[in-house]
Amino acid sequence: MIRQASTVYNKWTNNEIFYYFDKNFPLKKRDLVEKALSILEEVTCARFKQNSTSKNRIRVFQGNGEQELSLGQGCHSIGTIQHEFLHAIGIWHEHMRSDRDDYLTVDLSDVSPSKQYNFDKLNERVSQNFIDFDYASVMHYPPAVFTTNNTVSMYTISREFQFTIGMKQLAFSDIYKINQFLNCTGIEFYLIDCPIVSVARIKVFPNL
């Protein structure tokens, strides 16, 4: 089976994800969060609704993970926000996939033992993969992540993709696995990959 998402946690009812902003979360950054979520709504059937009283909800706060979602300093790009909310939906890191050794070589020699869990490989009992491994996934960490001396902790097997990992925007594979995981149907969206190609209209998932 192929699915890169959790198999052990409950899904959000009706694909409605409730969240609210902590009172100390900067007002000027709330618009960025809402923009990031509106993009996800355009390409998936997930619906993000502000609600501070729902039994199941996400608290968005200024920090350095009711469910809490921490956005630390420097973590307020559209892609980073989407990355964190994808976790809240149930999507795991790309570099933790069960098949990651076919695509990556992980070097923990310069990674603190307290951070090495971030490179744990998931087994198929807790995660499956919906689509082939994608170096460009927004759920993939950059190559020098968690290293003490800014050395490389992840080498791509296909070396031409070494500087692809750690992208800060949604890839097609991210959109695909969200829709598969949430059982979305009949989704249409525009995939924009600037500046290499212009807007392309793509219809996917018509028969799920």
Residues that constitute the known binding site: 83, 87, 93
C-alpha–C-alpha distance, residues 74 and 31, integer Å: 16
Q: How far apart are CA 74 and CA 33, in angstroms?
A: 13
Would you say 90 and 3 are in contact if contact means Cβ atoms under 8 Å apart? no
Q: Is 18 helix (H, G, I), strand (E, B) or coil?
A: strand
At 32 the three-state DSSP class reads helix
- As given in the structure block, the two tokens for residue 25 are 């979360």
Nearest one of 207, 169, 167, 172 to 190, comparing CA atoms? 172
Annotated binding site for Zn(2+): 83, 87, 93
For residues 106 and 46, what is the distance between their CA atoms, to the nearest angstrom?
33
Residue 84 designated active-site = yes
Question: 109 Cβ partners below 8 Å, 6+ apart?
Answer: 151
Candidate list 16, 66, 84, 124, residue with the active-site label: 84
Helix, strand, or coil here: 80?
helix
Supply the residues annotated as catalytic.
Answer: 84
